Amino acid sequence: MKDTYRHQGMRNKLAGIVQEKGISDKRIVNAVKKIPRHLFMDSSFEDHAYQDKAFPIGASQTISQPYTVAFQTELLNIKKGDTILEIGTGSGYQTAMLLELGAVVYTIERQKELFKKTNLFLPKLGYKPKKMIFGDGYKGLPDEAPFDGIIVTAGAPFVPKPLMAQLKVGGRLVIPVGDAVQTMTLYTRKSPKEFEKHEFGEFRFVPMLEDRN
């Protein structure tokens, strides 16, 4: 599959939609204009790639809606060089967004098939996470902690304690919490023991599943 002027035109439109929905960070809007989302999906969905919608990516998982990716990224408030842990690599689209913003990215995926595919695919587009890990996101990544930010891109039935523990003071955890429907939740670590919690409305993600490798 190729990236053409036609795709670029559709991306510019999508960036406009994301902006209209309330995303104001120019870096994020520019990333939507830049990342060739159609290449992150099966070619049969090519015509849908630049709609603001989630789509199947195999292994009964989805690529998140662009607005949701932009919104979660905005909540992370990334500065260049921040270390970010992502739970749920999936297609790698969110990973690409984090890299476009200059983050140092660690990303975990529990589905082998998706892990393998995205592990090969992302570097081909020039996107190089610091580490891509096949494993269970509930545990986080203690060896590389603490992180400036942690983003969970699957619906979490509860907030995993290890993720809270792996945040720097001042660090942010962005996590959709709930079963069928999730509330987008931001935890900011104020001190080793204190977290501030903010909620941002309802979203629908595929569930964050317990490890069953």
Which active-site residues does the annotation give?
64
Query: Which of the ranges 2-10, 76-84, 107-115, 168-176 carries the binding residues for ligand SAH, by CB under 6 A?
Result: 107-115
What is the rounded end-to-end Cα distance, in angstroms, of the chain?
A: 32
The yes or no reply on residue 94 touching ligand SAH (CB under 6 A) is: yes
- Rg of the chain's alpha carbons, rounded to an integer? 16
| Residue 93 in the binding site for ligand SAH (CB under 6 A) | yes
- Amino acid at position 168, single letter: K
What are 71's two structure tokens? 């919104």
Identity of residue 105: V
Distance separating alpha carbons of residues 19 and 30, to the nearest angstrom: 10
* Exposure string over 60-78, b if 16+ CB within 10 A, otherwise e: ebbbbbbbbbbbbbbbbeb
Q: Does the footprint of ligand SAH cover residue 206 (CB under 6 A)?
A: yes
- Residues 153, 166, 182, 185: which binds ligand SAH (CB under 6 A)? 153
122-151 binders of ligand SAH (CB under 6 A): 136-138
DSSP-derived pairing of the beta strands 55-58 and 83-87:
unpaired
**Distance, CA of 140 to CA of 133 (rounded, Å):** 10
Q: How far is the CB of 200 from ligand SAH (least distance, A)?
A: 17
Residue 110, interface with ligand SAH (CB under 6 A)? yes
Identified binder of ligand SAH from the candidate list 23, 61, 132, 147, rule CB under 6 A: 61
CA pair distance 82, 61, nearest whole angstrom: 28
Nearest to 176 by CA among 54, 82, 80: 54
Among 90, 129, 140, 149, binds ligand SAH (CB under 6 A): 90
Taking CB under 6 A as the binding criterion, the range among 4-12, 19-27, 109-117, 179-187 that sits at the site for ligand SAH is 109-117
Nearer Cβ to ligand SAH, position 29 or 87?
A: 87
- Site map (CB under 6 A) of ligand SAH, residues 10-49, x = contact: ----------------------------------------
Q: Which of 120, 2, 121, 11 is nearest to 66 (CA)?
A: 11
Count of residues binding ligand SAH (CB under 6 A)? 24
Q: Is 114 in the site for ligand SAH (CB under 6 A)?
A: yes
* Residues binding ligand SAH (CB under 6 A): 61-64, 69, 87-88, 90-91, 93-94, 108-111, 114, 136-138, 153-154, 206, 208-209
